[in-house]
A = this chain, B = another copy of it.
Amino acid sequence: MTVLERTVEALLFLSPQPVSTAELAQACDASEAEVDRALDALEGHLLEGSRGIVLRQVAGGYTLAADPVAEDAARRLLSTPRTPPLTQAQAETLAIVSYLQPVSRPEIARIRGVASESAVATLTERGLIEESGRSRFGAMVYRTTQLFEKLFGLSGLDQLPDPSRFDPTPEDERELRERLLKAGEQRAS
> With the chains together, A28 CA to B13 CA distance in Å?
22
Question: Which of B11, B45, B52 sits near A74, CB closer than 8 Å?
Answer: B11
Q: Which of A19-27, A82-90, A108-116, A142-150 contacts B (4 or more CB under 8 A)?
A: A19-27
A162 at the interface (CB under 8 A from B): no
Whether the Cβ atoms of B69 and A3 lie closer than 8 Å is: yes
Copies in the complex: 2
Name which of A1, A6, A28, A67 has the most chain B CB atoms within 10 A of its CB: A6
Given A53-B13, A78-B15, CB of A27 within 8 Å of CB of B73: yes
Give complex CA distance A42, B67 in Å: 15
| B73 lies within 8 A of A11 (CB) | yes
Kindly supply a per-residue 1/0 record for chain A positions 24-50, scoring 1 wherever the CB is within 8 Å of any chain B CB and 0 otherwise. 101111000000000000000100001
